[in-house]
């Protein structure tokens, strides 16, 4: 019986503990750093509309599937997939889905840590009053100098990686649960304060119109793929992070309610970030499509001008750091759980191994903003960082999600899925099953084919 199964790594203390941890994983740099800049690069409204549709029709059903598989497997994603496949009479090769997730997690963490390092550095800039009275141009120059200095970036990247591995070594459940409980609401409140500031820029409506007025002529096939990829990235889907968290979920908890709460919180944070940033972009005549530096070039202008800006700015970057921290630990948890299960490693040595490897890969991202930023070091016009981001968010995660959908709805016996889902209403199960069986796989495939110009 599935109920009797227990993860050797323990369980969350309650459903709420899982919600906090999974929201901690979902809400991160993806919402506050990435969502605004890719929205800016892809023309705004239509991109946001596709992203929201993907969250609803693809993201939520796949998140439910991942939690369900994790809870039924009660092991790291690699072992859970192997075990569930044998239980369902399918090929043991399904374990490679777990492997692909582990690799995606390493690759994402390698650059995630570098960008989280930027947030870390900006805490000190904000606190020391570096933004006070500095205009848009000065803030831009400051950022340019910062990313042009590889040694500084490496130092911050190292610090963040160490912070991540310390928490992973102590066990995800003990480490950040308490912090997330207070910091998530704090982040939320600060974003509302920033939206309040944006209301007074005189360009709030322009910002809103940019975000919410869809103009589908502006959306390319590639933009469509980026919007879908971001739905996976922002909800931490397609690589086993949510699956491994699901494996620690108590058997009785309702998967549907839990997942809807997480997805709603995540989406709200992203939209608030957009509403805080774009009015500033337009008020200061900045370029919405200016890339990964967007929040570091916009919000500091606001912090430099508003009353109490030193305090707000410092808090903002501290909260951003925590949001990134609670996401980064989930990126290596599938690998760490597997190393413990299959290689008898202690949590601590598993964390050190993972940290060292990802730290090295991260150097490629550090150099993408300085030594290797020139045209001669680009492939298809993309830097190492751009390529890594594209490969993980737009290829690996959606493919992983597609296979998770295929496994849950085509390989797994519906009665097994139904038993694990424990939904009160038969119609709700039927709807979920229909979505993962048809809508998700077809949706993801269509977006892939459109992006390569095949349709």
Stretch that binds ligand PFF, among 233-241, 283-291, 341-349, 431-439 (CB under 6 A): 233-241
Pattern of binders to ligand PFF over 241-260, x per CB under 6 A? x-------------------
Identify the CA nearest to 164 among candidates 350, 338, 363: 350
Q: Which of residues 328-347 bind ligand PFF (CB under 6 A)?
A: 330-331
Least separation in angstroms between CB 226 and ligand PFF: 14
428: which 2 tokens?
């709700």
**Cα(403)–Cα(305) distance, rounded to whole angstroms?**
49
- Distance set, CA 20 to CA 113, 233, 445 (Å): 21, 18, 32
Dihedral sign from CA coordinates of 49, 108, 235, 447: positive
Stretch that binds ligand PFF, among 173-181, 187-195, 212-220, 230-238 (CB under 6 A): 230-238
Instruction: Say whether residue 172 binds ligand PFF (CB under 6 A).
Output: no
Beta bridge partners of 382: 379
Instruction: Say whether residue 223 binds ligand PFF (CB under 6 A).
Output: no
Instruction: Say whether residue 97 binds ligand PFF (CB under 6 A).
Output: no
Instruction: Tell me which of 201, 236, 298, 365 binds ligand PFF, using CB under 6 A.
Output: 236
> Residues with Cβ < 8 Å from 178, sequence gap 6 or more?
none
Q: Which of residues 312-331 bind ligand PFF (CB under 6 A)?
A: 327, 330-331
Instruction: Say whether residue 233 binds ligand PFF (CB under 6 A).
Output: yes
Q: Which of residues 286-315 bind ligand PFF (CB under 6 A)?
A: none
Instruction: Tell me which of 26, 227, 281, 396 binds ligand PFF, using CB under 6 A.
Output: 26
Q: Are 341 and 42 in contact (CB under 8 A)?
A: no
Instruction: Tell me which of 21, 68, 239, 275 binds ligand PFF, using CB under 6 A.
Output: 239
Instruction: Say whether residue 28 binds ligand PFF (CB under 6 A).
Output: yes
Instruction: Say whether residue 108 binds ligand PFF (CB under 6 A).
Output: yes
Identify the CA nearest to 21 among candidates 129, 172, 194, 171: 172
Least separation in angstroms between CB 392 and ligand PFF: 8
Instruction: Tell me which of 20, 29, 63, 191 binds ligand PFF, using CB under 6 A.
Output: 29
Least separation in angstroms between CB 325 and ligand PFF: 11
DSSP state of 240: S
Position closest to ligand PFF via CB:
30
Least separation in angstroms between CB 368 and ligand PFF: 19
Secondary structure (3-state) at 379: strand
Specify the residue, 269 or 423, whose C-beta has the smaller distance to ligand PFF: 269
Task: Give CB contacts under 8 A, 24+ apart, made by 32-35.
Answer: 32/191, 32/269, 32/270, 32/273, 32/295, 32/320, 32/323, 33/115, 33/119, 33/292, 33/294, 33/295, 33/320, 34/230, 34/233, 34/234, 34/292, 35/230, 35/234, 35/270, 35/273, 35/274
Residue with tokens 């959908």: 405
Stretch that binds ligand PFF, among 14-22, 26-34, 206-214, 304-312 (CB under 6 A): 26-34
**Cα(18)–Cα(4) distance, rounded to whole angstroms?**
19
**Cα(281)–Cα(262) distance, rounded to whole angstroms?**
29
Instruction: Say whether residue 358 binds ligand PFF (CB under 6 A).
Output: no
Stretch that binds ligand PFF, among 20-28, 149-157, 203-211, 427-435 (CB under 6 A): 20-28
Secondary structure (3-state) at 382: strand
Least separation in angstroms between CB 118 and ligand PFF: 14
Query: Under the rule (CB under 6 A), what is the footprint of ligand PFF?
Result: 25-26, 28-31, 105, 108, 233-234, 236, 239, 241, 327, 330-331
């Amino acid at each position: 019986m599935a109920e009797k199964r227990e993860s050797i790594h323990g369980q969350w203390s309650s459903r709420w503990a899982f919600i906090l941890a999974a929201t901690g994983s979902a809400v991160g740099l993806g919402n506050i750093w990435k969502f605004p800049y890719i929205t800016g690069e892809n023309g705004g409204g239509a991109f946001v509309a596709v992203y929201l549709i993907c969250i609803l029709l693809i993201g939520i059903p796949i998140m439910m599937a991942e939690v369900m598989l994790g809870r039924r497997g009660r092991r790291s994603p690699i072992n859970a997939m192997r075990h569930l496949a044998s239980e369902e009479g399918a090929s043991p090769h399904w374990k490679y889905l777990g492997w692909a997730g582990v690799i995606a997690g390493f690759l994402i963490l390698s650059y995630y840590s570098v960008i989280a390092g930027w947030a870390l550095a900006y805490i000190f800039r904000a606190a020391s009053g570096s933004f006070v009275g500095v205009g848009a141009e000065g803030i831009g120059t400051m950022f340019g100098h910062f990313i042009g200095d590889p040694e500084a970036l490496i130092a911050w990247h190292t610090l963040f990686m160490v912070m991540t591995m310390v928490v992973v070594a102590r066990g995800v459940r003990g480490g950040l649960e308490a912090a997330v409980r207070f910091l998530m609401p704090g982040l939320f409140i600060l974003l509302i304060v920033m939206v309040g500031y944006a209301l007074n820029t005189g360009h709030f409506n322009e910002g809103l119109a940019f975000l919410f007025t869809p103009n589908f002529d502006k959306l390319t096939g590639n933009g469509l793929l980026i919007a879908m990829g971001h739905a996976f990235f922002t909800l931490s889907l397609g690589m086993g992070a949510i699956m491994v968290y699901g494996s620690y979920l108590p058997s009785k908890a309702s998967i549907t309610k839990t997942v809807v709460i997480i997805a709603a919180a995540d989406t709200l944070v992203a939209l608030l970030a957009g509403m805080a940033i774009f009015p500033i972009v337009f008020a200061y005549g900045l370029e919405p499509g200016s890339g990964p530096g967007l929040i570091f070039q916009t919000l500091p202008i606001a912090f430099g001008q508003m009353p109490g800006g030193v305090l707000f700015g410092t808090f903002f970057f501290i909260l951003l750091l925590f949001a990134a921290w609670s996401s980064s630990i989930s990126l290596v948890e599938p690998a760490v759980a597997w190393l413990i299960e299959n290689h008898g490693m202690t949590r601590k040595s598993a964390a050190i191994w993972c940290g060292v490897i990802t730290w090295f890969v991260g150097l490629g991202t550090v150099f993408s903003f300085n030594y290797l930023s020139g045209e001669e070091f680009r492939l298809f016009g993309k830097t190492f960082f751009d390529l890594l981001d594209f490969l993980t968010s737009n290829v690996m995660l959606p493919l992983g999600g597609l296979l998770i959908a295929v496994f849950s709805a085509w390989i797994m016996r519906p009665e097994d899925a139904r038993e694990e889902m424990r939904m009160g209403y038969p119609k709700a199960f039927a709807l979920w099953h229909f979505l993962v069986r048809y809508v998700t796989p077809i949706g993801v495939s269509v977006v892939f084919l459109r992006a390569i110009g095949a349709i």
